[in-house]
Structure formats: C-alpha cells, structure tokens
Structure 1
C-alpha cells in the first residue's frame, strides 16, 4: 500500500483518469468527483474489524467495488479520429471525412480494491479493467493489477512512476492533451515520505510498448503536495531499439499546480528526453535512422468551479520531436491540441459533460500543417 496520504490520490487517478499505448489516455473527472472517491478510499483504508462503511468483507479482507458506466457521442469534422480522438491521424487521406458521427461505451470500467491486515502491515490489492480492447471491440482490457505491502511497496501493473498523476489535465475524451507522459506498466515501486507533504518514489519497470526493448526501466520521483501547491520532478532511464539499433532512453518531467483562489486551478507539466516517444500521448518513434529521437512536450491547464455543480476548463498540449515519425502516408515532428470542456454534476453519481477538441500536426517532408476539429458529449454514472 502506498503511503496513505499519497494512496488516495493515486487510486483516484487510476479509477477516474486516464487518460496508455494511446488508449492509455486520461479521462479524469471534476474535482468534486475526485474528492468523493478519495473519501471512499480513505474509508476503506480506515475500516477496522466489525466496521464496513459501504464495503463488504470476506474473512478479514475488506473489499470495495468501484467504477463507472460512460457513454460518449462525438462528431469529427475534417478527419475521423475514432473513439480516442487520435490526433496522429489528422491529415491522413484515409481518415478524411465530410463529417463523421460516432458513439462508444468502451470507456466504461470496473475495479476492485482490497485491504487485508497482516503481521507486516496492511496488504492492499487492486484489479481494474475497462472495455477498450484493440480493433474497436468492446472486450475487457486489463488496466491495473497490483499488490501494496505496508506503507511503502507496490508490486504489479500501475501508472509509471515517470507520469505526473496529480497534475494530469482533465478531458471528456479518452486521450486528453498531447505533451505529457502516460503509461501503465508492470513494476516494483518503493515509496516513502519526508514530513507531512513531501514524498519520493523509486521503481524498476517494464519498458512500454513501442520502445522495443527487453531491458528494465529505472525511475525516480519526488513530490511536494500540501493541497494548495504541488511541485513534482521525475527522471527515467532505460533503452529503446529501432532498425536494429539500441539507444539510451532518458528523460525528466517537471510538474506544478496551484489553487490561486476558491474553485480555481492552474497547472503545468513539462517533459524532455531522448527516445521517449512511446511514453507520450503522441507516440513518436523512439529511434529514427539509427538515432535517438529527442522530444520535449508540455501541457498547460486552467480550471474553475462555477458553483457546486459546474466545472469548466481549458488545456493546451504540444509535442515537438527532432526527427519525423511516419504515420501512414505522412509523418510529423510536431503535434498540438486544445481541449475546452464543461462538466455538470446532475446528481451525486451522474455527471454530464461536453468538450470541443482542436488538433494540429505538421507533415515534416512537405512542411504542410493539418488540423481537425471535434465535439464530444458524454454521460457518466459512477459507482
């Protein structure tokens, strides 16, 4: 189990966010919903013998089922981006459209949290699946499967330690902005804290799909989070392969957020490194022409609560690669996205949302730029 102060936000993110391959993307909810799930997880952690506030027990193991049912409806104007608003297809002749309507329920998911007292501390477990299988089919896909031992150890599949969970932008669609690290991988992670607000973590992880390497990845992170201010730094080292050439895969992320006034939130994320494309939403090639493909990316988000039921926001993301990545008939070195969204909390568990998404990418050999526009609405019932 992660340190209790950190475990609730991390599990909230895994339950409500995404936002990987590219289908490992982010779909975080409004702050009110996040707070509700934090309270639920904290209740699970504090449950003792004979007390089951909303959960149930098998022997001395406390269990809690969570998840949501989500229906998305979207319209692509210039290029059919699919269920996941895949900006990389913008410009591809095969994706060109005069207007395409689509709908999906594949973002729906279900998870199970467990807590079992033991002589070495509480042992927690998490198992989570969604319906985002490959090739557009609605089949179960594993998202998280991990064991947490005491306050320090996590073993199994979870968000990479390289990813900035607490400052991840909010979106209605599944991917969220480009320009940020996002992956779920098998790992062994050790977490500890300094005082009430500062923690660090180190991990040994499997490399992500697309890096084409069997070598382990090493990560380290440190974070300060007092509820108003967040500052985080993370680093990664591994290997990537392409065209029979192996290169170093290195990078760092810097993240921060502030709540400047009641209901307001401003946050930024920056990532830089070499051969990091498979870790980013844009999925740029890690190795091109026998060289590591350097990349930097960033996201900027502003959100504001409007009363108790409404929450609105805008997020900008950008990825800039040194070498071009081929996608079908075209290639790119730069991707940009803008997400403008609104969430309405109709009831305690039901949220309605709407979003406008703008995506842009360049075709490196010709110097041409393509853009695509999309609107999306959704209804989500949490349980």
Structure 2
C-alpha cells in the first residue's frame, strides 16, 4: 500500500471509531460525515502523487507533510537548566537545586513542503512549526517559512547563511554544544554551483534578537562537500546597538568548518568561529556590547561519532565560548562557557529513535573568580513522520 493510501485508510478508520460511539444520537450527522470522509479518501487515492513526489497533489503542486513527535525526560543535578541544557544559568543561586526532574514535548514539530513546476524553475515552499514558545509553554512557534526558486533563490525565514549546518554537532537536547552559530532569520539568499561538489551562497538577512539593530546583515559562504570531506568558510557583517540606541558598533565574524569520515561509520568534525559583537548569534548568547565596547568572541566545537551497527550510533561533542568582556546574567557575569555532550542513539524502527545523553556544562564568574559546573542526564523517544 502506498504512503498516501495508508494515511487515507488510517484517517477513515479513526473517523469510524470516533463517530461510532455517538451513532444512536446523531445518525443523520454521522452518515453525512462518513459520506464526506469516503469522498475525501477516494479523492486522495485518485490524486495521490508518486512515491518520490510527496504525500498529496493539488493540481500540479505536490505537498509533503513531515515532522516528529519527541518526548524528553531529564534530570539536573546541581542547577535547574530548564527544557534545554542552558549553561548560562549554571552558578545562579536562583537555579540551584538538590536535583530536579523534568519532562517536555516542546521539541515536537510539524512542517509542510510544496513543489510546483514553473517556467522559471521548480517553485518550493516550506512552513515549519514547533512547540517552543516563550515562557516555557507548549505553544506553536514559527521555525521556517520560505520560498525557493530552483536551486538558486531562497526568500523567507531559514537558518542564517552564516551557520554551518552540515557540520553541526548531534545532540539529544535541543541546543547542542556552545561555540557555534544558531539562528533562524528572514533573508534573501542566492546560491551558485561553482563546479563539482562546491557551492557559493550570499544573503541579505535580518539581524538577530539581541543585536538591537534595524540594519541588514550581509553574509557569504563557500562549501565543498563530496560526502567524505566537508570544508566550509562563511563570513558575516552588520552592526549591533545597545537597547537605547546610544552606542553602535560594527558586527562581523568568520566561521571555518570541516569534517571527515576517516573509516566506515566514523565521523570527525570541527567548527571555529571568531568575531566581534557576535554573542547574540551563539548558543551562549553573550552580550554584543559591554560598557560601550564591542565584545570579541572565539568559539569552538569538536565532535566525534561512530556507527556501531545499522541501529546504534554514539558520539561525543565539546563546545567552548571565550568572550573578551563579561556578560551579566542574574547575579553572575561570565566570559567562558564550556559543554560536553556524550550520547547514544538507537534506531528501534525506521521511524522510531530512542536516545540518551549525558551533558556537562561549566561557566565562570569573573566577579568571584569561581567556576561553576552542572551535570544533566536526558533520555528521549522520537517518532518521525
């Protein structure tokens, strides 16, 4: 049975079960609903797209529904870091704990992709939402919303072109290691194929929250990827301001990334970032401006992964951020952040993955000269669709 056929059958079965309980009281309404459902199922079966073209077809547009349901369970030993392993709260008296258990489904997400042929190339669309709204609530939040024209143009919200997606470390918890750019922003991006396995991309983007600038950001990146080796360089230029607009500084940065698959199932990859006023782009969210001066930063991630079988893989990732000027959070002020993620993933079925992770975080306090650390364990189950 095709994928669309399965979905249609499940839809029909679910509706029959639900409506059956009220059949005596609502015979006429139920019959009408069942007739409408049968018509919909027949239409879906008649107009279903081929296996490689998406889940549904409307005219000459194919639609693909995707996403996953993910349940996370975690235990913080010294400091309560919340739904994500947020290293910035480590050391804060308000976050201190003798042990805190938590659970969340907020990483769950759903997305829709469309594809329509046209005289100027394939027109694609993407709309993706998750449940990571503000204040710890499970409410819909926009992740991606963009239009693509062929393999050249992207218009809308997507990962910043400055971010190295292909070498981003794998983690069970939401953020992953510190020391790497992580941002989704509205943008216009152009990508050009420079030859075998090499692409160049440039973009005009909105600045991220925390930079407090209404001016656009310019980025450029070049990447070589042949499936075994990846080498990427990216650059960013814009400006950052204080909240009151009294101080404005240049904001710039470069990222160098690489990965290699040295043997079967093995993966080693690194990312290095350097720049000025870049804190709002990084996992650690250091201040862009401190005392009227631009805050320089260096960030690093290193990851090693190994497939143990077709079902098991394990990995370890290290991340670090070093700032010239201290960022105040609560009662403490940091210039250094470190994280270690050690994880294992088990592919129970083609769609269901079980995972576990140990996370270590460390943050310094420039005022007292102390270092504070936090330990966390996390397990998760993720069902892709």
- 2:325 and 2:49 map into 1 onto residues whose CA distance is 60
User: Are the counterparts in 1 of residues 145 and 157 from structure 2 also a CA contact under 8 Å?
Assistant: yes
Q: Which has the larger radius of gyration?
A: 2
- 1:368 and 1:115 map into 2 onto residues whose CA distance is 54
- 1:164 and 1:140 map into 2 onto residues whose CA distance is 26
1:216-227 equivalences under 5 Å are 216-227=216-227
- 1:382 and 1:90 map into 2 onto residues whose CA distance is 32
Q: Deviations over 1:281-301 (max 9, x none)?
A: 000000000000000000000
1:132 aligned onto 2:120: no
Partner of 1:196: 196
- 1:344 and 1:52 map into 2 onto residues whose CA distance is 27
Partner of 1:302: 304
Extract unaligned runs of 5+ from structure 2: 1-47
Partner of 2:252: 250
- 2:325 and 2:211 map into 1 onto residues whose CA distance is 16
Partner of 2:39: none
The alpha-carbon distance between structure 1 residues 100 and 50, as it changes in their structure 2 partners (threshold 3 A), is closer
User: Are the counterparts in 1 of residues 148 and 155 from structure 2 also a CA contact under 8 Å?
Assistant: yes
1:286-301 equivalences under 5 Å are 286-301=288-303
- Which contiguous aligned blocks of 4+ residues in structure 1 show a shift greater than 6 angstroms? none
Partner of 2:161: 161
When the two structures are superposed, what TM-score results if normalisation uses the length of structure 2? 0.86
Of 302, 325, 328 in structure 2, the residue corresponding to residue 326 of structure 1 is 328
Paired residue secondary structure (2:273): strand
Structure possessing the higher relative contact order (Cα contacts under 8 Å, 6 or more residues apart): 1
Partner of 1:111: 111
1:222-233 equivalences under 5 Å are 222-233=222-233
User: Are the counterparts in 1 of residues 49 and 55 from structure 2 also a CA contact under 8 Å?
Assistant: no
Q: Deviations over 1:126-183 (max 9, x none)?
A: 0000000000100000000000012200000000000000000000001100000010
> Shift in Å at residue 51 of structure 1?
3.2
Partner of 2:174: 174
1:32-181 equivalences under 5 Å are 51-53=50-52, 55-181=55-181
Partner of 2:384: 382
Q: Deviations over 1:27-56 (max 9, x none)?
A: xxxxxxxxxxxxxxxxxxxxxx96354521
Q: Deviations over 1:184-226 (max 9, x none)?
A: 0000000011112000000000000000000000000000000
